Structure formats: C-alpha cells, structure tokens
A and B are shown apart, each in its own frame.
Chain A
C-alpha cells in the first residue's frame, strides 16, 4: 500500500501544501520547526485517526486559522481518497472516504497499516513496563482481532473485579468473597489466553528483531526478548500459577483495592548478549534496540497481514553514529514506502538517494523537490 499524494490545508505550519510522494523512500529535509514532522503527523492521523504527538486538534490548526484539512490518495489494489476536515467551532473531525462521509472513525482504523518510529520510542526500552505492554499489545492487535477481543474482555474483567475488591475493602462479607472466586476464574481464563498469545508472539517476534539487528549492527550482538509473566512464579501450568498467586495476594489485593495479579502487570525484558539492556545498555544500544523493534514490527506485520505497511521514521538518524546510520539507510531499501525526516544541518552524505526515491525540502511550511 502506498500514499500517492497528500494535501494539507492550515495544518500546523502548512498553509497549503500539495505533495506527491515516491512509492519508495521519501526524505523530508528541513530545519527545526519548518514542518517536517507535521507531514508524518498528518499521515499518521489518516491511517489511525489518532495523533501521535499529544496535541489537541485546535493546536493542529494553523495559527490564526479556523479549520484544517488533510487529503490523501492511497493506492493498494484500488484507489482510496481519504479526507479529514476539522473546524474549531464544532471542535469535531469529519472523515470522508471516496467522498462518502464515515460515521465511525473505526471504519478507517486498521485499513491502512502503519509503523511509526519516533525519538519518543526511548520509552520502549527505558520506560516503564506499561510502555512495553502497550507496544506488544498494539502489534498483536494489528495482526489478530481475536487478541483484541480477548484484551477488551480482560480489561472489563479487571474493572469489574477491582470494583468488587473496593466493596470488599469497605465491607468484608463471605458472599462477596464467594462472588470474587467467580471473577478470579474469569480473570484466570482470559488472562491465560492473553499470556499464551504473548508467549507465542515473543517467540515469533524475536526472530524478526534478530534479523533487524543483523542488518543494523552485525552478528556480534544478539538480541533476546524475555517475557516476564506472573511475577516469574513457577508452577505446573499457567492456570496453576495464576491460581496460586491469586490466593497468595488476596489479602493485599483487598487492602490495596486493586488487581495485583495478571498479564496487565507483565513485562518484556530486552537483552543483548545475555546482558539486560535496561541495566547495562549504552545509549547507542538502546537506540539500536528501539530501531530494531520498529523494523521488526514492520516486517512482522507485512508477513501477518500480507500487505506492506507505511513506515514513518521521525528523526531516526539524529542519535546514531555514522556506521549504524549507514546500515539503517541501506536496510530501508528493503521496506516499501517510507517517510523519513532529516534535519538539514547535519551531514547525511552517506544517504544515497536512488532514482525513484524523493527528496522534499521543507522551509517554513513550503514544500519543494530536490
């Protein structure tokens, strides 16, 4: 799948930009604050309906403007024209596909697979476990509706169960404990399903990360992903472990009025050559791992859904040494369509623009081709 054209009206710094893209690599070059990342932002909104920078739609509207518009033409087997219109007075976004208004944003979500690599990805390897769970969940959800439905079911179970724990804390009764046991069983059933899914995913996904590492570094560094579930408790089966842990933690759960056992507290540990990245990793290794995770996501999704996702890389070369940067630029030749922002003051002479790649220069929201 490729994005052929993009037109931005009053979007961020862009007053009116009409851009034609290459089907391969699109290098978006410019200084800080000139409107490079805004192009990625617009593409991301079209594919996911979400903003990847935490900003409101009013902030996306060009200073002094009242409305913004994003128009994009996608080409897959057929052509799809997506239009997004926002105006400040309704404070509402309108979505159109091929001229027809869509009632639910959900009709767009998942239609155009996309992978985004940004400087904020440092939290994938350096942040809290929640960031890693979010990453893993979002990748599996993009590939499996069944996982998504189990995840929603599980989250609902958590909400119901925590309410019951709250009541137990206020007013302990044997009848509530009797009911809690049923919720425990439900939590174990759905939670075990999630854990099994994630185990299978990590096993598969690790190979993709390894492959990416081989391209970016070399064979000297071997990445490993360890899935740390149910507090690394040991037992006969997942269900058994789950059950034992719940019994062990019951009093604490009631005292703290929250769900303390289950896949919503799991973590994924990243290692390089058996050393835990979070403890021993250098800045460069962290960055490499983050890049490798996104490339792995790209190729994993490509294989799972049988279509080429769009790849957005925001300022990826900023924090890498030239050796790795060169390797990544070569690795990029293996992906389909990609959009890569680059700041113009650095030396990127190593980047080879092939004939069918495009180089866009952005100055103060104006786009020109180089």
Chain B
C-alpha cells in the first residue's frame, strides 16, 4: 500500500469515530483535502474549542463554558427538583422537550461490573451530597430502563432514602404518536402492566 502518510493518518483518526468505518473515514479525509485552508482551519478550531472552552459543570457535570452550566446558573430553574441522567446527550433530549424546569445531574454512565464501572466511577457521591443540601425535594431518575440502568436507579434510591426526599422514575411505555400495532409485544405488555388511572 502506497498512500501518503498524512492522508493515512487522517483516515485512521476518522476511523476512531463512532459509526465511522474505513471507507467513510477515507471519504471524509479526502473531502477535507478538497476544502480550502480557511475552511479547514475553522473546522479544526471548532474541534479544539470543544476541548479548551467546554468543561463539566462543577455542580451537575453537564457541559459548561463557565464553572457552572447554563441550567445551574439560570435563576428561572426550579432548584428543588433534580433530574438524574446517564450522559450529557440525555440532558439535550430532555431540554428539547421543554417539559422540565428543574436541575440536572449527569452520572457519566451506569453501574456495570462486567465493564469495570462501579459507583465511585460515577458522580453518585456528588449527587447524594447535592440531594442533602436541604433545597432538594425530589429526584427524578431518568436513566435508561435496561438491566444496568435499573440497578443504578435502585442503588441511588437506596442511598438517598435516609434524606426523606421524593424519588421518582420516569414512565415507560408506548411512544407518543406511536401506534400500538407497531410497538413490540414486550413494550406493550409492560405498558399495560404500568397503566395509570385517568
């Protein structure tokens, strides 16, 4: 194989991205090669800014440009409710819904002994400390409803029990606008078991 080394290096770097295979990596690298220098510089700077200008909020571990994130700094947010999520991407999803006006707490993952992730690798201690500040009245656990997510919820619930605050878990079931006929049987089954009175 005789490919110029700088190109090969760029391909390898793109190949490390999630969802990017060898061929796509090559397309992306060749695409950049055709851009003019100014455009490429802008692209590189935006990537560098990700690292230099963004860091994690000292309170909730959401992305922030200052010491604290915009949610935590906002005077309009309800400081008595904390919504606990796995990743920053979950904050973005819930923010887009415009249905939540409280604060967040990003765990940075879930308990997963097989992958070597334990409670000390997550921001759980910080959450318990925040929850015991006297201001917090409710924790909403919005982690994914899979085996590890549910266990993480149970772990948090167990460890904040002594604080006497309300702990809830987000509902699960049929997606809005989704037809019953298109949901898989297990989801429908659970939705029926978890029905609510109207």
Contact in complex: A179, B119 (CB < 8 Å): yes
Chain A residues, Cβ within 8 Å of B118? 175-176, 179
Indicate whether A181 sits within 8 Å of B158 (C-beta atoms), given known contacts A160-B112, A160-B113: yes
In the bound complex, CA of A365 to CA of B74 (Å): 79
Chain B residues, Cβ within 8 Å of A156? 147-148
Contact in complex: A167, B113 (CB < 8 Å): yes
In the bound complex, CA of A181 to CA of B159 (Å): 11
In the bound complex, CA of A354 to CA of B111 (Å): 62
Chain A residues, Cβ within 8 Å of B50? none
Contact in complex: A164, B154 (CB < 8 Å): no
Contact in complex: B120, A186 (CB < 8 Å): no
Indicate whether A163 sits within 8 Å of B113 (C-beta atoms), given known contacts A181-B158, A185-B158: yes
B162 CB → nearest A CB, Å: 13
Indicate whether A182 sits within 8 Å of B154 (C-beta atoms), given known contacts A157-B147, A160-B147: yes
User: Which residues in chain A, 181-213, are within 8 Å of chain B measured between CB atoms?
Assistant: 181-183, 185-186, 189
Contact in complex: B189, A164 (CB < 8 Å): no
Segment of A37-45, A142-150, A281-289 engaged in the interface with chain B? A142-150
Mask, B130-161, CB within 8 Å of A = 1, is: 00000000000000001110111011001100
User: Which residues in chain A, 266-288, are within 8 Å of chain B measured between CB atoms?
Assistant: none
User: At the interface, yes or no: B184 with Cβ under 8 Å from chain A?
Assistant: yes
User: At the interface, yes or no: B77 with Cβ under 8 Å from chain A?
Assistant: no
User: At the interface, yes or no: A159 with Cβ under 8 Å from chain B?
Assistant: yes
Contact in complex: B154, A186 (CB < 8 Å): yes
Contact in complex: B158, A145 (CB < 8 Å): no
Chain B residues, Cβ within 8 Å of A144? 185, 189
From B113, B150, B158, contact of A164 by CB (8 A): B113
User: At the interface, yes or no: A236 with Cβ under 8 Å from chain B?
Assistant: no
Contact in complex: B120, A175 (CB < 8 Å): yes
In the bound complex, CA of A231 to CA of B189 (Å): 29
User: At the interface, yes or no: A178 with Cβ under 8 Å from chain B?
Assistant: yes
User: Which residues in chain A, 115-165, are within 8 Å of chain B measured between CB atoms?
Assistant: 144-146, 148-149, 153, 156-157, 159-161, 163-164
In the bound complex, CA of A182 to CA of B137 (Å): 23
B161 CB → nearest A CB, Å: 12
A208 CB → nearest B CB, Å: 22
Contact in complex: B111, A182 (CB < 8 Å): yes
User: Which residues in chain B, 103-133, are within 8 Å of chain A measured between CB atoms?
Assistant: 111-114, 118-120
User: At the interface, yes or no: B16 with Cβ under 8 Å from chain A?
Assistant: no
Indicate whether A145 sits within 8 Å of B155 (C-beta atoms), given known contacts A157-B147, A160-B112, A167-B113: no
B108 CB → nearest A CB, Å: 16
Indicate whether A182 sits within 8 Å of B186 (C-beta atoms), given known contacts A163-B114, A175-B119, A176-B118: no
In the bound complex, CA of A156 to CA of B151 (Å): 11
Chain A residues, Cβ within 8 Å of B166? none
A66 CB → nearest B CB, Å: 31
Chain A residues, Cβ within 8 Å of B111? 160, 179, 182-183
User: Which residues in chain A, 4-30, are within 8 Å of chain B measured between CB atoms?
Assistant: none
Chain B residues, Cβ within 8 Å of A167? 113
B172 CB → nearest A CB, Å: 12
In the bound complex, CA of A181 to CA of B151 (Å): 10
In the bound complex, CA of A183 to CA of B113 (Å): 10
Contact in complex: A145, B147 (CB < 8 Å): no
User: Which residues in chain B, 143-198, are within 8 Å of chain A measured between CB atoms?
Assistant: 146-148, 150-152, 154-155, 158-159, 184-186, 189-190
Chain A residues, Cβ within 8 Å of B184? 145
B110 CB → nearest A CB, Å: 10
In the bound complex, CA of A189 to CA of B147 (Å): 11
List 17 contacting pairs A-B, 8 Å CB cutoff, sorted by A: A145-B184, A145-B185, A145-B186, A146-B185, A148-B186, A156-B147, A157-B147, A160-B111, A160-B112, A161-B113, A163-B113, A175-B120, A179-B111, A181-B158, A182-B111, A186-B150, A186-B154
Which residues of B line the A interface, CB within 8 A? 111-114, 118-120, 146-148, 150-152, 154-155, 158-159, 184-186, 189-190
Which residues of A line the B interface, CB within 8 A? 144-146, 148-149, 153, 156-157, 159-161, 163-164, 167, 175-176, 178-179, 181-183, 185-186, 189
The 3 closest A-B pairs by CB, nearest first: A145-B185, A146-B189, A182-B155
Q: A149-B186, A182-B111 are known contacts; what are 6 more A-B pairs with Cβ within 8 Å?
A: A144-B185, A146-B186, A156-B147, A157-B147, A157-B151, A160-B113
